[in-house]
Structure formats: structure tokens, C-alpha cells
């Protein structure tokens, strides 16, 4: 893989990671409710889901999904259902940021990692992103080293970006300000999650 090709891959990975959406809302939620460790766990579990999509695209399954509308619809509806479930819980503050902060309840790192992983793995937007854009890098070079780079680049970029977000949120002055707006953050993240779920269903 040439440097120019890798820089193109890096740029797309950065833009994808920085795009605001349910993934950012999830990292914010767990960073506030559990602390820096929970935020980092969410970040790298989310990145693991990204790596899985990269690997799927690499081995050609993205083409199979594209050619099998029924299978793609099943995956998309499953993702939309999960996003709606998280959104409703956030609107009700059931296990959300506000409830965790006000009750002083600790969020288990395992729970943060699980939700971070599934928000990535079941997000149809990410699937579409890889099928539409990421697949262009498949076949650029067939050697094993290039395949490794194609998978690890979005994984590392995604993990580092959301780790940065978790560190920023762990700064006491930032945390104190956000703590006062915990309910608003819950409501906003809930609206984003449900909105994306509706958008996915309408688009199918």
C-alpha cells in the first residue's frame, strides 16, 4: 500500500470517527456515569466493532450484504431496534447519565464495554459507511501487510479519538459543568438514538 493510499484511508477513518452520532453519545454517557476508565472501555469496545466491519469488508462479505437485500434489511432492523431501545432508556433516564450521577451508582466497566461494542456493531450507519466508502481500498494490494493496515487503521483511529473524548470529559471542571446538564444530555442522546433508528427504518 502506498503512502498516498494510506493517507486517504486515514482521512476517511478520521472523518468517520469524528462524525457526531450515537457512538459519541454512548462514550459521553459512560464517561460521565462511570468515569475515565468506563469511557476508555466504551471507546475501545466501539473500536473493536469498527475493526469487525473492516474485516468483514476485507473478506468480501460487504459485497454479499450488498447483493442480499433481505439479509441487509435484517441487520439494519436489528440495529435500528437496538438504537431505539437505548434511546428510550435515555429519554426515561433509566440507567442513563442523570440516574447514575444522582444516585451515585457505579457503572460496571463490563457494561460500558458491552454497550460500546454493540452500538458500533449494530449501527447500520457504520455498515453503510464501510460498504459505500471503505470497500474502495480492498484489492489495492493483496499482500498480508496491506490487509492488516486496512483493518487496524480505522480501529486505532476510532479508539484514540473516543479515548481523547473520555479524557476531556474526566477533567473536573468539564465534568462539573456537564453534571449539571445530565438530564439534558440524556434527553439529547435519546432523541439522537431514536431519530437514527427512525431514519434507518424509513430508508429501508
Residue 152 has pLDDT above 60, yes or no: yes
Residue 11 domain-assigned (yes or no): no
Tell the residue number behind the cell numbers 435484517, with chain if given: 74
Predicted TM-score (pTM) above 0.75:
no
Domain membership of residue 93 (yes or no) is yes
Residue 2 lies in a domain: no
Tell me whether residue 166 is in a domain.
yes
Say if residue 47's pLDDT is above 90.
yes
For residue 1, being part of any structural domain is answered with no
Any domain includes 14: no
Counting the structural domains of the chain, the total is: 1
Summary mean pLDDT of the chain = 76
Q: Is residue 70 part of a domain?
A: yes
The whole domain housing 95 covers 22-203
Please state, in angstroms and rounded to a whole number, the distance separating the CA atoms of residues 200 and 124: 7
pLDDT value of position 137: 62
- Residue 140's pLDDT is what? 46
In the chain, pLDDT over 70 holds for what percent of residues? 72
Across 5-19, 95-109, 118-132, least confident range: 95-109
pLDDT value of position 63: 67
What pLDDT, on a 0 to 100 scale, did the predictor assign at position 3? 81
85-116 tens-digit pLDDT: 877 877 876 545 555 555 445 678 888 899 89
C-beta separation of 112 from 45 below 8 A: yes
pLDDT reading at 175 higher than 90 = no
Residue 154 in any domain: the answer is: yes
Amino acid at each position: 500500500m502506498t503512502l498516498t493510499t494510506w493517507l486517504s484511508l486515514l482521512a476517511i477513518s478520521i472523518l468517520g470517527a469524528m462524525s457526531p452520532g450515537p457512538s459519541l453519545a454512548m462514550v459521553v454517557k459512560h464517561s460521565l456515569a462511570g468515569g475515565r476508565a468506563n469511557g476508555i472501555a466504551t471507546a475501545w469496545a466501539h473500536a473493536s466493532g469498527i475493526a469487525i466491519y473492516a474485516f468483514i469488508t476485507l473478506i468480501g462479505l460487504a459485497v454479499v450484504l450488498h447483493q442480499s437485500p433481505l439479509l441487509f434489511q435484517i441487520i439494519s432492523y436489528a440495529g435500528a431496534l437496538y438504537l431505539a431501545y437505548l434511546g428510550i432508556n435515555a429519554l426515561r433516564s433509566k440507567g442513563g447519565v442523570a440516574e447514575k450521577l444522582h444516585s451515585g451508582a457505579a457503572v460496571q466497566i463490563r457494561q460500558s464495554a458491552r454497550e460500546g461494542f454493540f452500538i458500533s456493531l449494530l449501527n447500520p450507519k457504520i455498515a453503510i459507511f464501510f460498504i459505500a466508502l471503505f470497500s474502495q481500498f480492498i484489492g489495492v494490494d493483496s499482500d498480508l501487510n496491506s490487509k492488516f493496515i486496512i483493518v487496524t487503521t480505522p480501529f486505532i483511529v476510532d479508539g484514540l479519538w473516543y479515548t481523547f473524548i473520555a479524557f476531556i470529559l474526566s477533567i473536573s471542571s468539564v465534568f462539573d459543568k456537564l453534571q449539571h446538564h445530565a438530564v439534558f444530555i440524556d434527553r439529547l442522546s435519546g432523541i439522537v438514538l431514536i431519530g437514527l433508528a427512525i431514519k434507518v427504518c424509513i430508508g429501508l
